Structure 1
């Protein structure tokens, strides 16, 4: 998988800037919200908001540092000295360093015709890191802020800004990863722009959003619901273990990767090893939709005071409609709009010669 400056278009360069803006806006708004909660005396909310920021950032910095080291070892990149690498990742700016490096190199390639190698590889690494950050930070933040608003009736403009930016970040990073994935694997067709991309985005948005709402309702029903969420995380992590993922170069990092995959699977489906996904996807969404629909029903039955609120009925209707739309767009995308390729291998069969080169994407989440 070798990219040149010609593979990296000006549109892609602008998309990289947009992704950086969303990333900074998401982290910045959450940090401001943490300060607001702290100054108002809501120490628990401030602590939880900060924990999600730090957990997502820490995971991203770990993988970013290891990938820098792997690329340096393989001679793919003339990286910074080890001391500098450690410093920027300890300061939690590894992903920002990657953004500025990619923007600088691609700018020279696009506007000054300077030869730059591996631009799309660098963009793909960023898309994977952003996917981690999204499901470890942005999505849990949405659940937390929704819980605070619905359960404690605490609202502020900054909360809504933070939630809006988190939502945009989820939509952007999910589709950006999908497009980078299709672009970077030589044995599959690229994901077309236009209707296929929009339908894929709608499928993800309309399946992730009711998950966020239903999990929020479960926490409102009882904070002990977090134990059930931890069990769901364990099942996702255990599935990754059973699939014997081999994404990382060390055993310890592979365990961290599997645990991260478990978090992602709480909110949306990804095929862990790029093999036949029809059965696990069907089982996943049967369970997910059943759980989504059960949340408002259980809240209504075991917390009768919720019946008099102004949010319960709209949420029930939204979950019903959103689940239906999400599954509808899922079926539409994979039946009519998925960029199949005649030379693609059948799921589970050995890939042909052109994909034997080992890359991070070959072993990463494949759907």
Structure 2
């Protein structure tokens, strides 16, 4: 009914997004099962080094994600919350849940519950709560992707290369894993779109282009690290730490303001350095063309060096198995794919990316009807100024029954400001 009269709903949570969230939970559970099976498989093979590295990645990533989840719950403790979260907090077990790595499941439970209630009972205002929690989930999935999925894929590719199991089926599995990483980045991108004005909304075409250029940039990066690790396993830790320290230094120079505590902000900056090791992540407000150009140039050179060292080692100490392609051809393919990804990224920002200077906070006033206001329409322009940011946009006022206030995820709104500025 609201859509028919043109009432501006700040956040919409369609059934498709709900299905994606439920699918994300199923994939999350499936991934946990597969991780356990992988650990058991390494144990049975007596590959204790690989098993130890995998367990370290799993536990480290889970602890990092749970830390962010707990901090966000702590920041939002005095704000509107779902009944699922209220129940847990009343039992004083929220912190215990995060200690036992169950905080993300609580977030999924909150989204599923309020989504079902909204769809069944027709409570449109619950969409804001659903989107609020979904934004945090997408950010947590992004952190999990680059702290667990990407390093785990590097580990698996390294094992495949060292064992000479480079077959079409393994290549397809690797492509599927890289695609899953690009999908996580794309879902994060789609969550940022909810902060755009209606006239600047992006369609699925832009998401496809966004997915493709991330796939073409992340794939060669992961493959290059895996190739280098397969021949110089003792030096990959030094390469990662030195690269991470440089990236962390540049994050510090940007003076980010994402978290609401000093310790949380340092954790966020360290995490951004980890994400940058694999993919570009916009954390600064304003034009970042030169920063992005410098980053991709540096990563491109690093990919060339890693692959070049691998080619040199292959020519110096040929493997006992036959490679499907000549090492120099593989080097050329890596560089070509990375350049193609850069070209697609330029196309995205040229034709698909909306040019918005600042995303304003639209205030929605929910007031009861009265006889003093027009009755021939449900929406009027109040002519008020958006005082939160000094914008001159008129504020739309809904003349209808009072409803609960809409939750605004300030963390993701700030990231949307950075991405679309």
Task: Give TM class, smaller chain.
Answer: 0.7 to 0.9
1:183·1:191 contact (CA, 8 Å) conserved in 2?
Answer: no
Matches within 5 A, 1:79-118: 79=86, 80-81=88-89, 83-114=92-123, 115-116=125-126, 117-118=128-129
1:204·1:326 contact (CA, 8 Å) conserved in 2?
Answer: yes
5+ long unaligned stretches in structure 2: 1-7, 361-387, 394-407
- Give the one of 40, 45, 51 matched to 1:46: 51
**Matches of 2:97 and 2:9, distance apart in 1:** 27
**Matches of 1:136 and 1:70, distance apart in 2:** 23
Question: Which residue number corresponds to residue 340 of structure 2?
Answer: 325
Query: TM-score, normalised to structure 2's length?
Result: 0.77
**Matches of 2:209 and 2:302, distance apart in 1:** 24
Question: Which residue number corresponds to residue 191 of structure 2?
Answer: 180
1:21 aligns with 2:72: no
**Matches of 2:345 and 2:171, distance apart in 1:** 29
Question: Shift of residue 92 of structure 1?
Answer: 0.9
- Higher-Rg member (1/2): 2
**Matches of 1:184 and 1:42, distance apart in 2:** 48
**More moved, 241-250 vs 316-325:** 316-325
2:206·2:348 contact (CA, 8 Å) conserved in 1?
Answer: yes
Please provide the CA RMSD for this pair.
3.0
**Matches of 2:293 and 2:175, distance apart in 1:** 30
Question: Shift of residue 22 of structure 1?
Answer: 2.4
Question: Shift of residue 203 of structure 1?
Answer: 0.6
Question: Shift of residue 188 of structure 1?
Answer: 9.4
Structure with a larger share of its residues in helix: 1
1:30·1:162 contact (CA, 8 Å) conserved in 2?
Answer: no
5+ long unaligned stretches in structure 1: none
SS of 1:271's equivalent in the other structure is coil
**Matches of 1:246 and 1:112, distance apart in 2:** 38
Aligned residue pairs, count: 358
**More moved, 240-249 vs 152-161:** 152-161
Query: TM-score, normalised to structure 1's length?
Result: 0.87
Distance change in 2, residues 1:87/1:158 (3 Å): farther
1:120·1:184 contact (CA, 8 Å) conserved in 2?
Answer: no
Question: Shift of residue 198 of structure 1?
Answer: 0.5
1:22·1:169 contact (CA, 8 Å) conserved in 2?
Answer: no
Distance change in 2, residues 1:301/1:158 (3 Å): closer
Distance change in 2, residues 1:300/1:167 (3 Å): closer
For residues 296-323 of structure 1, what are the alpha-carbon distances to aligned partners after superposition, in whole Å with 9 as ceiling and x for unaligned?
2222224423485335356324313311
SS of 2:303's equivalent in the other structure is helix
SS of 1:309's equivalent in the other structure is coil
SS of 1:73's equivalent in the other structure is coil
**Matches of 1:169 and 1:344, distance apart in 2:** 30
